[in-house]
Amino acid sequence: MGRAAAASIEHDPQRDRYRAGVLKYAEMGYWQPGYEPSETDILALFRITPQDGVDPQEAAAAVAGESSTATWTVVWTDRLTACDRYRAKAYRVDPVPGTPGQFFAYIAYDIDLFEPGSIANLTASIIGNVFGFKPLRALRLEDMRIPLAYVKTFAGPPTGIVVERERLDKFGRPLLGATVKPKLGLSGKSYGRVVYEALSGGLDFTKDDENINSQPFMHWRDRFLYCMEAVNRAQSVSGEVKGHYLNVTAATMEDMYERAEFARELGSVVVMIDLVIGYTAIQSMAKWARRNDTILHLHRAGHSTYTRQRSHGVSFRVISKWMRLAGVDHIHAGTVVGKLEGDPNSVQGYYNVLREDHNPVDLQRGLFFEQHWGGLRKVMPVASGGIHAGQMHQLLTYLGDDVVLQFGGGTIGHPMGIQAGATANRVALEAMVLARNEGRDIWNEGPDVLAAAARSCAPLKAALDTWGDVTFTYESTDTPDFVPTATAA
């Protein structure tokens, strides 16, 4: 062994890599520009805004590192693992069109990093650590590709669009709902009155609001009893299957199970939960719903705290994917024309993620990856928030047939009363579907169709007179990057 040999040991790349100290993430193996993602990799697309002076590749590598195995300094214990495999790989960085300083970073994660069938684990891994990272000014999880191998570890929606329709025996038109208003304060008996009026007037569903759980003004058991009385009465006067989303959200899982069991005992076809109960609770409830043949409605309470701003947070399309895997049957996904945020292209992207068996890449609608759902059941999107009968032609065109259209204020605020409000919405919807099937151009002739239907339906006429001109036109804060201008909702 001469000097030459000694020299070669000095410059061994493995020893250099694991020498104590701080290395750039890109040098630790988290930046691999040539990497070809495998079929079983989980892919994530982050929108990164590095701090000034931070190189985008390094930032991407840092995100990859901090969302997988790295820490801010080299650790020798890495050598005890097949670390090359467990490291996430940032394999591509593109500038975001029209937004200097922002980049799209594509990162691949080995499937072994994740527990099968666990949204809690999937999210803890990907967004658990990295969003507060100082070298990034802002970070958003824009889209994910879940490989079929991982999709298959989830049970998915307990009911799904097809089975829901078969249970309700309702085919060929969107479903109609309304949230009971005012949001808070009604007693159980008064609450049930609203439900009866709305369902007997023609809606298919009524809904607890997200913050109706069990408050001093109305305990949950009372609400459940009065609502089921209303549901059954409405069923008997119409001959149709009706439902009310009984909110079983509570402080603990034990309380939630107790409430859900009671709902089932009373014969409700549907129960409801809020997003704020957390991913673990949602999966538990999905399992319960499947065991008990109940439709599971999810209110996306709290999501806009992190989904709304384009630069930072988690995109709602990712939430939609997680929720489909976790297993909900209904999820609020936007109305386009109502009072809440939702650009038409983005919203159509969310609806496609929820309803299709296969999503091709569709940059215009914000879908960056091809996604196969492997036969996982389809989630029924819910459109709720500031919509009224006068917009029926727009709603049908943007959202299609497999959606629940919820007109809370639009039913309960009707000048002729709640039943009339429900009837107005139902007649408007049926007339619009009839016209669309006949081949009419409802986008342009919609108002004519509504006016014609209103001639034989006084409640509809009153609704159009009251709200016909109401629109919510503001520029969207979260539009897709690959469309020239924000489309006015």
Which part of the chain contacts another protein (CB under 8 A), choosing from 129-137, 303-311, 405-413, 420-428?
420-428
Q: What distance in Å separates the CA atoms of residue 342 and residue 107, rounded to the nearest whole number? A: 27
Mask for 200-219, x = binds another protein (CB under 8 A): --x-----------------
**Residue 476 CB-density burial (10 A; 0-12 exposed, 13-18 middle, 19+ buried):** buried
**Contact letters for another protein, residues 124-163 (x by CB under 8 A):** --------------------------------------x-
**Strand pairing report for 103-109 and 42-50:** antiparallel
> Which residue, 32 or 206, has its beta carbon nearer to another protein?
206
Minimal distance in Å, beta carbon 173 to another protein?
A: 5
User: Where does this chain touch another protein (CB under 8 A) — which range of 55-63, 135-143, 426-434, 462-470?
Assistant: 426-434
Catalytic residue among 89, 299, 321, 378: 299
- Which range, of 7-15, 27-35, 169-177, 462-470, touches another protein by CB under 8 A? 169-177
In the complex, the smallest distance separating the C-beta of residue 439 from another protein, rounded to whole angstroms, is: 7
The DSSP bridge pattern shows strands 380-384 and 358-359 to be: unpaired
Quick one: which of 157, 171, 173, 106 has its CA closest to 403?
Answer: 173
Nearest to 432 by CA among 380, 390, 404: 390
> What's the CA gap between 187 and 227, in Å, rounded?
11
Question: Cβ(426)–Cβ(374) under 8 Å?
Answer: no
Residue 400 lies near another protein (rule: CB under 8 A): no
- Per the annotation, the verdict on 24 as an active-site residue is no
The span from the CA of 325 to the CA of 328, in Å, is: 8
Nearer to another protein, 91 or 196 (CB): 196
Q: What is the nearest approach in angstroms of another protein to the Cβ of residue 438?
A: 4
Q: Which of residues 247-276 bind another protein (CB under 8 A)?
A: 265-267
Residue from 194, 433, 442, 464 binding another protein (CB under 8 A): 433
DSSP state letters, 138-154: EEEEEEEE--HHHHTTS
- Of residues 275 and 449, the one with the C-beta less far from another protein: 449
Q: Give the angle subtended at the CA of 286 by the CAs of 156 and 222, to the nearest 5°.
A: 150
Among 98, 100, 439, 484, binds another protein (CB under 8 A): 439
- Least separation in angstroms between CB 230 and another protein: 11
Does residue 229 touch another protein according to CB under 8 A?
Answer: yes
Two tokens at 402?
């497999």
Q: Near another protein by CB under 8 A, which window of 146-154, 234-242, 363-371, 463-471?
A: 234-242
> Are 37 and 91 contacting, i.e. CB atoms less than 8 angstroms apart?
yes
Q: Kindly state the helix (H) or strand (E) to which residue 271 belongs, with its residue range.
A: strand 270-274
Cα(122)–Cα(147) distance, integer angstroms: 13
**Binding residue for another protein, selected from 40, 309, 437, 477, defined by CB under 8 A:** 437
- Known catalytic residue at 244: no
- Alpha-carbon distance of 97 to 460, in angstroms, equals 46
Determine the size of the site formed for another protein (CB under 8 A). Answer: 39
Cis check for the bond before 381: say yes or no (omega within 30 of 0): no
- Environment class of 195 (CB within 10 Å of its CB; exposed 0-12, middle 13-18, buried 19+): buried
Q: Verify binding: residue 357, another protein, rule CB under 8 A.
A: yes
Stretch 373-392: interaction string toward another protein, x if CB under 8 A: --x--x--------------
Q: Does 187 bind another protein (CB under 8 A)?
A: no
Applying CB under 8 A, among 184, 456, 465, 475 the residue interacting with another protein is 456
Window 60 to 79, contacts with another protein (CB under 8 A): none
- Nearest Cα neighbor of 316 from 483, 161, 143, 147 is 143
Q: What residues are annotated to the active site?
A: 181, 299
Which spans of this chain sit near another protein (rule: CB under 8 A)? 162, 165-166, 169-173, 202, 225, 228-229, 232-233, 235-241, 265-267, 357, 375, 378, 423, 426-427, 430-431, 433-434, 437-439, 453, 456
